Amino acid sequence: MYVRYAGFGVGAKAFDWAVSSHIFTSELKGKVMRTLIVTIIFAITMVTTSFASVTPDSELSLIASPTVELSVVNVAQKDFFQVAAYNSQMDALEFVTADYVNYLQIFDETGKLVYQLPVMSNKLKISKKMFDTGTYKIGFITKNNTTIQFTNLKVND
């Protein structure tokens, strides 16, 4: 018996080879397709992760000196501080803020409130002598007590 399959051969063996070849290529195509899909998903994940919003520390930094380092929590807070500087001659942090500040709160590393000071201005100076070596969080409570702008302060020896 002669069978002609897709232009191949002249016998049953040619037909068997063509059918098994078709099954093998179907399984191979399935594996290749799965691998391709996984590779595409992985590539998309890596590209998305690499473009994720990561703010460098340099953009958050307001003051960087050997004695003190001050940074904001997010980039949007930088607009609140018109001036943020460390005056080494007076050994003090100096601020001019965009909004009127009612109170200043200073928290230690454990989150314990160390000081709450009335400011009632948009200009203030904080002596470095108020701080021991360590990390602090400073909260600027604005007019009408509606918002608190937090900064991170690191005091070096």
- Summarised one tens digit per residue, pLDDT across range 134-151 is 999 999 999 876 788 999
The confidence score (pLDDT) of residue 118 equals 93
CB 68 within 8 A of CB 93: yes
Domains in the chain, number: 2
Rounded Cα distance, 80 and 8, in Å: 80
Whether 100 and 143 share a structural domain: yes
Whether 1 and 67 share a structural domain: no
In this structure, the chain runs to a length of 157
pLDDT digits (tens, 9 = 90+) for 17-67: 555 555 556 666 777 778 878 888 877 777 776 665 554 555 689 999 999
SS3 4: coil
Whether 18 and 46 share a structural domain: yes
| 27-65 b/e (C-beta count within 10 Å ≥ 16 → b) | eeeeeeeeeeeeeeeeeeeeeeeeeeeeeeeeebebbee
For the beta carbon of residue 22, count every other beta carbon within 10 angstroms: 12
CATH code where residue 118 lies: 2.60.40
